[in-house]
Amino acid sequence: MGLQRLFLLTKFIKSTKIENLTLLNKVIKVNLLLIFLYPLFLQSQQSSIIFSKVNFSLYNPAYTGVEGPSLILNSRLQWIGIDQAPRTNYLLYHLAPKKNVLLGISAINDRVFIEDKTYLTLDYNYKLQIDEKKSIYLGIKGGGFYNNIDTNKIPRIFNEANPLLSAVESYFNPIIGVGFTMIAPNFFVGLGTPNLFNSKRFKQTGELEPSAQDLTLYHLTGGLKFTLNSKLSLNPSIIYRSISDSPNFVSGNISFSYDEKFSIGTGASNNDNLSVFFSSKNKNGFELGYGYEFLNGSATDAIKRPTHEIFLKINLENKEDSEQNESEIKDEE
């Protein structure tokens, strides 16, 4: 709940006139502590994307292009009604496969409080056919991200500049991520990391040595497909995310899919969030989804505002190729 406490503290500073010097010193110390620990809080606070399956390649490059060429737009608006709350937008572009090679581009803009992060990577994925129905994918991604930090958004008690904030400034870090995935008609499993390297966020000054880092996370995913009849299927999936020095994150969802064109489901995670979602796909290859997430816990210091998420996926597969593939499938049947 570190990020939520930081928001509550900034509200307190904005709305309270502090006259007691001892209390003032405590507030200053706590504020500074939270500022420098904020990256670690944020890492543990990151919630799973509701429509995680269409966005798996963000965390694991071995999911790049596995569902064919497509353009995916995803927008997540967290804690509706809270000023400077998390806002995240995703753009994924999967190119048409070239033999066993699949390429893609991933872009993310993640804004929260004083931070505005932009990620851009090129994703490479190689397919190894095990048998007629099962494949293994090996992926790697490379690029970088820029974190634009605006310390002017931090509420001030005094007008004088705070020398301790001299260590906090915008920065750029490279990204190299790897992963593997196994996919079959009725299951999938994958393990990956979006970045292999830990990196320091703030520069060392003469007055302090910040220890805050952008930490490597490991992303384990898996899912099953149970065919109930010729048109209806049940699709459970799970995400396990591990970050050093932070609580492990587990998220799962289950959905019903009708004729591969409409799905509805629900999800839950170990940070007390619940979600409901639906998606619909038309014959022209456009898929649209909406998800709603809310807090189910009783923590008094938690921000109990909902989260909205929408996504649009456009299938870029050549229509003639698609019709030919469908014809081949029917011939096999």
When pLDDT is cut at 50, 70 and 90, the band that residue 310 belongs to is very high
When pLDDT is cut at 50, 70 and 90, the band that residue 60 belongs to is very high
Considering its fold, how many domains does the chain have in total? 1
In the predicted model, is pLDDT for residue 267 greater than 90?
Answer: yes
pLDDT tens-digit map of 164-182: 666 678 889 899 999 999 9
pLDDT tens-digit map of 68-122: 999 999 999 998 888 888 999 999 999 999 999 999 999 999 998 888 999 999 9
Give me 35's structure tokens.
């500022």
Most confident listed range (11-25, 158-172, 217-231, 292-306) = 217-231
**Euclidean distance between the first and the last CA atom of the chain, given in angstroms as a whole number:** 53
* One-letter amino acid for residue 4 of the chain: Q
The alpha-carbon radius of gyration of the chain (Å, integer) is 22
When pLDDT is cut at 50, 70 and 90, the band that residue 311 belongs to is very high
- Domain carrying residue 62: 2-332
Beta strand pairing status for 101-112 and 115-129?
antiparallel
* One-letter amino acid for residue 123 of the chain: D
In the predicted model, is pLDDT for residue 324 greater than 50?
Answer: no
Alpha-carbon distance values, 228 to 42, 104, 133, 225 (Å): 40, 33, 20, 9
> What phi and psi, each to the nearest 5 degrees, are found at residue 245?
65, 20
Question: Averaged over 142-151, what is the pLDDT?
Answer: 90
**Residue 305's CATH number:** 2.40.160.40
Give me 59's structure tokens.
């965390």
Instruction: Give the global pTM.
Output: 0.80
SS3 labels along the chain: CHHHHHHHHHHHHHHCCCCCHHHHHHHHHHHHHHHHHHHHHHHHHCCCCCCCHHHHHHCCHHHCCCCCCEEEEEEEECCCCCCCCCEEEEEEEECCCECCEEEEEEEEEEEECCEEEEEEEEEEEEEEECCCCCEEEEEEEEEEEEEEECHHHCCCCCCCCCHHHHHCCCEEEEEEEEEEEEEECCEEEEEEECCCCCEECCCCCCCCCCCCEECCEEEEEEEECEECCCCEEEEEEEEEEEECCCCCEEEEEEEEEECCCEEEEEEEECCCEEEEEEEEECCCCEEEEEEEEEECCCCCCCCCCCEEEEEEEEECCCHHHHHHHHHHHHHHC
| Cβ neighbourhood burial of 309 (10 Å; 0-12, 13-18, 19+) | buried
Question: Averaged over 14-43, what is the pLDDT?
Answer: 48
Give me 259's structure tokens.
């004729």
Residue of higher predicted confidence among 207 and 103: 103
Which pLDDT score, from 0 to 100, does residue 127 have? Answer: 97
Contact 155, 194 (CB under 8 A): no
Which pLDDT score, from 0 to 100, does residue 167 have? Answer: 66
When pLDDT is cut at 50, 70 and 90, the band that residue 29 belongs to is very low
